[in-house]
A and B are shown apart, each in its own frame.
Chain A
Amino acid sequence: MNYDNNHTDKKLQELENQLLPDLSKMDEHWKQISLVLEPGSGTATAPKNFFKRRILLALAAVVIVTIVSLLVSGNLQPVDKRHSAETSLPVASRDTLPHKRSLTIPKPDSTHDVILLKARTTDGRDTVLKAIPAGKPAPGNQRLLLEGFYTRLQKKPEAFLINNKRDTTIRGKEGTQLYIPANSFDAKEDVTLLLTEVYSVNDMITQKLTTTSGGRQLVSGGMIYVDARDKKGDLIDLRDGASLRLDMRPPENGAAMELFYGIDYYRDDQTPVMDSINWQRTNQQFSTGNQPRAYAIIKNPVTFNRKDTMVWEDDSPRYTIKYPIGDTVAGKRDAYIKADSVINKRYGVDINRLGWINCDRFYNEPGPRTELIVDLGGNADYWNTFLVFEKYASIMSPSSKTDNTARFSNVKEGEPAKIIVIGVKKGKLVTAMQNVTISRTPVTNLHFEESSAATFTKNLVNK
């Protein structure tokens, strides 16, 4: 007997229904999302606050409607300033403000610091791409106070204005190189690439970047964030099937590293929730060696004007010319760029996505593991706690947070590390840094001090 399409479909659905779900990672997945979920008003107090807010909002609405109707009917007389307190609208307090589940970054205005993203063209002109508010905190909003602190620590990306019709090489200040073949983006005009390089552990901390993949500890050789924007400053994607060649600084110990992409959880306004980054393995290895690695077809006339040089050549007849690193380059006819010795010292991989990219390896050192418990001495909801390893570039966020404690599970005993806590206490931003040796003994008595972005950065360098 043979099954027709309908029978086959039903049989397939039947078989699928027989499959039991894999629940082995449910707790882990819940932990990941629970770190992102902003706690609501709490089980015990939620209904009370909820109704209180509603009553106050209703009262405010009644007053507004009354005033509007008086205005419309023409019955509202000018009010003597001496009596204004009696007729003024209720001032919005924390309780009357609607509870915001997601962070809203304030729009830039004269009262907020603004970071200007600028791009510099190859002929030296500066162009402002976008104004990003530096996140001046609203009074009383603990979450925003914390986010504002991080925004001030945020590294300014380097901006490169490139011609999408040409092959281009860009080089970041810290040594990252990106080879971009022509037409890599779905854009007819110039494209601006924003590149942020994060190679030092201190930068990883200030950028709130942890190094775990599905809960497994990673050791990082460096991370970058790259995105592309059109003329308006809006994000654009790589064209389907396009891939860029990425060279990063090679790790000092020569360890074999792999490519990981950062998977963020995003808020509605597309800003990432950074304390939840999870690195997704691609199984692509970074490669070294002396063979040419970066090839791209070049179709337009050559233009170059810098002293830095690389050698490139076409296939037949062979000829060699020099072209500048960092500028848009092009050839008179189809040709191939050949990476020179400078490039060959680098550590490269092909990428087909933009966003957060990490050059990583799993930390697989043998030895006994334990759970490190950190007593925060206060409610852990508004704390960011990091476990920073001393001997290698690895940073973990807590596997779980309960009441006043943060727990780091499955960490190697005896490793020297640093606990860094950033949080809000009594409306003020406080930080604590404490050196520890990982053991079963809980870490207590953290010393918190009031901090700002500037003092925190200074302390990171000194401690």
Chain B
Amino acid sequence: MNTVLTQSVLLNNTPDKVLRGCREGDLDCQEQLYRQCYPDMIKVCYRYAGDMDGAGIIFNNAMLRVFKSIKDYTDEGKLMAWVRAIVTNCCIDFVKKQTRFREEAKENMQEYEVSIAAEAFSHISAKEIREIIRLLPNATATVFNLFIYEGLTHKQIAESLGISEGTSKWHVNEGRKLLKARLENFITH
């Protein structure tokens, strides 16, 4: 019964109407926005939580922030980007509670090239890649994900996690190095 209701809401409401409804606290519109954002955002949350329960907690906390501050949202047409930014911040908050970020490098640390055989990617599925990254040390996996998938700069990562830019670069280098080693391991086995 719930599904039927949801579908009818989805069909009947235009994006503007959904946005207006959310601003007025309309639960149906909030549900529509929630379900629209869910597929893309739950993937982001999963990267940092490592399981669906944790991902759900991050996403729900993010959506609570979205519903709370949607009245102040003015950048029409970029709603998804705005939601994504909030989700990313919630992911960072979640990880910071669980992971200790130590200073690993000096400020002048630079990214270095880690060349990976193209062939390595043909032997592995997207799911296996995600699993490899998930099994990196927590701090490294977090920085690596923020840099590669969320597109944050080292400066932004450093500010968000309270580390230096050098440490952020160190983690990305470390992530690439470990990824390469595990991918090559995949080829040989």
Contacts and interface: CB of A to CB of B under 8 A. Distances in A.
A and B form one complex: yes
Interface of A: 1-5, 7-9, 11-13, 15-16, 18-19, 21-30, 32-34, 36-43, 46-47, 50, 99, 101-102, 213-214, 240-241, 263, 265-266, 268, 278, 280-281, 353, 400, 402
A171 B52 CA distance: 36
A410 to B, nearest CB: 16
A101 B28 contact: no
Interface string B45-85: 01000001110110111011001100000000000000000
A8 B67 contact: no
B135 interface: no
B185 interface: no
B140 interface: no
Given A5-B111, A15-B121, A280-B57, 17 more contacts: A3-B115, A4-B115, A5-B114, A8-B114, A12-B129, A12-B148, A16-B43, A19-B127, A23-B42, A29-B38, A29-B42, A39-B25, A40-B24, A43-B21, A43-B27, A43-B28, A280-B53
B176 A36 contact: no
A402 B149 CA distance: 39
Given A22-B42, A32-B60, A37 B67 contact: yes
B116 interface: yes
Contacts of B67: 37, 101
Contacts of A9: 148
B121 A33 contact: no
B12 to A, nearest CB: 10
B39 A3 contact: no
A50 B23 CA distance: 11
B14 to A, nearest CB: 15
A408 B28 CA distance: 22
A263 B57 contact: yes
A33 B24 contact: no
A34 B68 CA distance: 14
A362 to B, nearest CB: 13
Interface of B: 1-2, 21, 24-28, 30-31, 34-35, 38-40, 42-43, 46, 52-54, 56-57, 59-61, 63-64, 67-68, 97, 100, 111, 113-119, 121, 125-127, 129-130, 148-149, 176, 179
For chain A, what secondary structure do more than half of its interface residues adopt (helix, strand, loop), or is it mixed?
mixed
Contact of A43 (B26, B52, B97): B26
Classify the interface of chain B: helix, strand, loop or mixed. helix
A1 B118 contact: yes
Contact of A15 (B42, B61, B129, B176): B129
Contacts of B114: 5, 8
Contact of A36 (B1, B64, B148, B149): B64
19 contacts: A1-B118, A3-B121, A4-B113, A11-B121, A16-B130, A21-B43, A22-B42, A25-B52, A28-B56, A30-B35, A33-B34, A37-B64, A38-B25, A40-B26, A99-B25, A102-B68, A265-B61, A265-B64, A400-B2
Nearest to A99: B25
Given A2-B118, A29-B56, A33-B60, A23 B26 contact: no
A30 to B, nearest CB: 6
B130 A13 contact: no
A5 B15 CA distance: 38
A355 to B, nearest CB: 10
Contacts of B61: 265-266
Contact of B59 (A3, A29, A36): A29
Contacts of B24: 40-41, 46-47, 50
Contacts of B111: 5
Contacts of A26: 35, 38, 42
B38 to A, nearest CB: 5
Nearest to A1: B118
A2 B116 contact: yes
Contacts of B59: 29
Nearest to A240: B100
Contacts of A41: 24-26
Contact of B126 (A18, A40, A265): A18
A292 B158 CA distance: 41
A11 B120 CA distance: 11
Contact of B54 (A12, A30, A32, A280): A280
A8 B52 CA distance: 27
A188 B46 CA distance: 37
Given A1-B117, A13-B148, A39-B25, A25 B56 contact: yes
A275 B107 CA distance: 46
B34 A402 contact: no
A16 B127 CA distance: 8
A2 B34 CA distance: 41
B40 A21 contact: yes
Contacts of A30: 31, 34-35
Contact of A13 (B46, B100, B149): B149
Nearest to A214: B53
The 3 closest A-B pairs by CB, nearest first: A40-B25, A15-B126, A2-B115
Contact of B116 (A8, A25, A240, A400): A8
A402 B42 CA distance: 26
Contacts of B119: 1
